[in-house]
């Protein structure tokens, strides 16, 4: 680490030591990182990643911290807070790929709108609108990207309004907004490999699935994402974004990390003979755990798949609730819930039951 610090000083890159990480997450819990860096420049990140790999120093990338649980012990290594942002809108003629049928298949085979979401009234099809290619740097906030694009009359990402993450986090977990997956709009990404080189991965190379991309096992830095969006109805997109974000806000506490668990599959739903595949339904109606508190964390009363925290909460409070749900579900319905969130700084044997 000393050599890395020396390197940062030579390059005039500022860093913080023993920086508490709670304030960089929506759960507002988690201990300190040995070293913390906020990166705003694309050229800088290439050199940093190469150096960290050369020196064999563990590092972890943080976007908005809205999908991570950081342990109270923090992280031994370097946390890179990604703030590399920017949006590029290209001319129509520069489109280099067409909508991918397989992307639509992913959506249709995994999501049945009527069963899974109640945003039917807001949803509409834009596939016949003129297309436009857009590139967005990974540290750009999703909300900022959506607003910026709509004000430039570019539509397509309005379904993801109200999700408090960055573009990088959205690609990494292939987020879902209403009945739409992020991967429906992605044509490719630039990643940075361990040598600091930029590599392009096409949509097909990203292994997208429900809350999944291949990048989760590769652990490469996502630098930039390429989208095929639309020159659609900007007014309608704006209204949709506002209405959807508002509807989410009513039900979903912000001091959380979103839904903690992945929906169960159709077979499990039919075996249980329940009308919903959501853990919110199971935790509320079968496990009867809604409103349960551990320390300063609580299984939300407004959406039981969300765990919310209050001032003074620690990561162990959240973990205690995740473990309680896991244990009760295993005993009561013989299903082990899989988490949608990512754990940082926990020993593997503590978290493997959730994966
Ligand atoms: C109130 C609320 C509502 C939510 N609603 C939804 C929803 O509707 N749908 C949904 O899918 N999610 C939802 N979420 C979860 C979360 O907001 C999303 O998953 C979001 O995209 C995470 O982005 P982030 O920048 O915060 O990622 P972080 O939490 O910072 O990181 C998450 C993971 O992505 C990795 N990562 C982040 N950036 C990069 C990068 N540039 N390169 C490589 N890896 C990277 C991190 O290392 C980490 O493993 C919600 C969360 C909250 C708090």
Q: Report if pTM > 0.85.
A: yes
Fold assignment, 87-251: 3.30.465
Q: How large a percentage of the chain has pLDDT more than 90?
A: 82
Computed over every residue of the chain, the mean pLDDT equals 91
| 242-292 pLDDT tens trace | 999 998 888 899 999 999 999 898 899 999 999 888 899 999 999 999 999
Probe residue for ligand 1, chosen from 29, 37, 168, 208 as the CB with the greatest number of ligand atoms within 8 Å: 168
pLDDT at 16 exceeding the cut of 80 = yes
**The 297-299 sheet, strands edge to edge:** 293-294, 297-299, 307-309
Q: What average pLDDT does range 317-331 have in this prediction?
A: 97
Can 2-82 and 87-251 be said to share one CATH topology? no
Ligand 1 centre to CA of 171 (Å) is 9
Task: List the chain domain ranges.
Answer: 2-82, 87-251, 266-354
Task: Report, at the CATH architecture level, how domain 2-82 is classified.
Answer: 2-Layer Sandwich (3.30)
Ligand 1 centre to CA of 91 (Å) is 29
Q: What pLDDT sits at residue 110? A: 37
Q: What pLDDT sits at residue 97? A: 54
- The model's confidence at residue 118, banded by pLDDT at 50, 70 and 90, is low
pLDDT at 57 exceeding the cut of 80 = yes
Report how far residue 110's alpha carbon sits from residue 180's, in angstroms, rounded to the nearest whole number.
Answer: 10
CATH class of 266-354: alpha beta
| 183-193 pLDDT tens trace | 999 999 999 99
Report how far residue 226's alpha carbon sits from residue 142's, in angstroms, rounded to the nearest whole number.
Answer: 14
Q: Report the nearest atom of ligand 1 relative to the CA of 61.
A: 47
Q: What pLDDT sits at residue 120? A: 74
Residue 201's contacts (CB-CB under 8 Å, 6 or more residues apart) are 188, 189, 190, 191
Q: What pLDDT sits at residue 314? A: 98
With beta carbons less than 8 A apart as the criterion, state whether 156 and 229 touch: yes
Q: What pLDDT sits at residue 1? A: 95
Q: What pLDDT sits at residue 59? A: 97
């Amino acid at each position: 680490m000393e050599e890395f610090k020396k390197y940062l000083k030579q390059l005039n890159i500022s860093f913080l030591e023993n920086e508490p990480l709670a304030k960089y997450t929506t759960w507002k819990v988690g201990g300190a990182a040995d070293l913390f860096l906020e990166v705003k420049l694309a050229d800088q990140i290439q050199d940093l990643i190469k150096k960290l790999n050369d020196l064999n120093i563990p590092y972890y990338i943080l976007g908005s911290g809205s999908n991570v649980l950081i342990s109270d012990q923090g992280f031994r290594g370097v946390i890179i807070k990604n703030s590399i942002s920017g949006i590029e809108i290209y001319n129509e003629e520069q489109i280099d790929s067409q909508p991918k049928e397989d992307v639509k298949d992913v959506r249709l085979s995994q999501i049945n709108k009527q069963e899974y979401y109640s945003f039917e009234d807001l949803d509409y099809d834009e596939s016949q609108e003129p297309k436009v290619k857009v590139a967005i740097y990974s540290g750009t906030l999703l909300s900022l990207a959506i607003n910026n694009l709509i004000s430039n009359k570019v539509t397509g990402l309005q379904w993801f309004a109200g999700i408090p993450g960055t573009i990088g986090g959205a690609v990494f977990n292939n987020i879902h907004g209403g009945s739409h997956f992020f991967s429906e709009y992605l044509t490719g990404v630039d990643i940075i490999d361990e040598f600091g080189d930029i590599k392009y991965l096409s949509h097909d190379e990203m292994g997208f699935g429900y809350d999944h991309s291949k990048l989760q096992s590769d652990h490469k830095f996502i630098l930039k994402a390429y989208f095929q969006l639309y020159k659609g109805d900007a007014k309608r997109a704006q209204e949709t974004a506002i209405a959807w974000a508002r509807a989410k806000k009513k039900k979903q506490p912000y001091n959380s990390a979103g839904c903690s668990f992945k929906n169960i599959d159709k077979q499990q739903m039919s075996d249980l003979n329940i009308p919903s595949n959501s853990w919110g339904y199971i935790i509320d109606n079968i496990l009867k755990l809604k409103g349960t508190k551990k320390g300063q964390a609580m299984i939300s009363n407004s959406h039981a798949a969300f765990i919310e925290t209050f001032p003074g909460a620690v990561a162990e409070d959240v973990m205690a609730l995740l473990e309680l749900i896991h244990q009760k579900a295993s005993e009561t319905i013989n299903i082990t819930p899989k988490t949608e969130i990512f754990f940082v700084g926990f020993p593997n044997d503590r978290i493997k039951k959730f994966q």
